[in-house]
Amino acid sequence: MLATLRQYVTKELECRCENPCSEVLYTKSISMRQWPTDEFSDVLVEALCASRSPEECAIYRKTDPRKFAQNFIKLNIYFEDLNYENITEIPSYEATQFFSDIGGALGLWMGLSVLAMT
């Protein structure tokens, strides 16, 4: 793999890549808001106190709720869309159909010519 990467970087790698059979595209969107809210900071303090010493718990209880919002983060990563698009390419006009249409047109014109001659 490193040899291939080196060839790619030095432009020695000659390959003509076809269209990919599958492709995954991820789009991102960002939204923000204050967390925790002033109301939820009390719940957060109780959750923190459950696993901390009483001294640390006393410090958390004295802390201004706005300080929690400045020092905590809640990160949600999720898929924006759970839909996928499947694109299949097929020829719209195949060679057999083309020759069949030519044969049909020739037959029509020959038949009309025969009728016109009689």
Cα–Cα distance for residue pair 69/86, rounded to 1 Å: 43
Mean pLDDT within 81-104: 85
Mean pLDDT within 77-99: 82
Is 60 within 8 Å of 49 (Cβ atoms)? Answer: yes
pLDDT above 90 covers a percentage of the chain that reads 6
Looking at residue 102, its pLDDT comes to 92
DSSP 16-71: -----S-------------SS-HHHHHHHHHHHHTTS-HHHHHHHHHS-HHHHHHH
Looking at residue 100, its pLDDT comes to 92
User: Per-residue pLDDT for 84 more than 80?
Assistant: no
Q: What is the pLDDT of residues 70-79, one digit of tens each?
A: 888 888 888 7
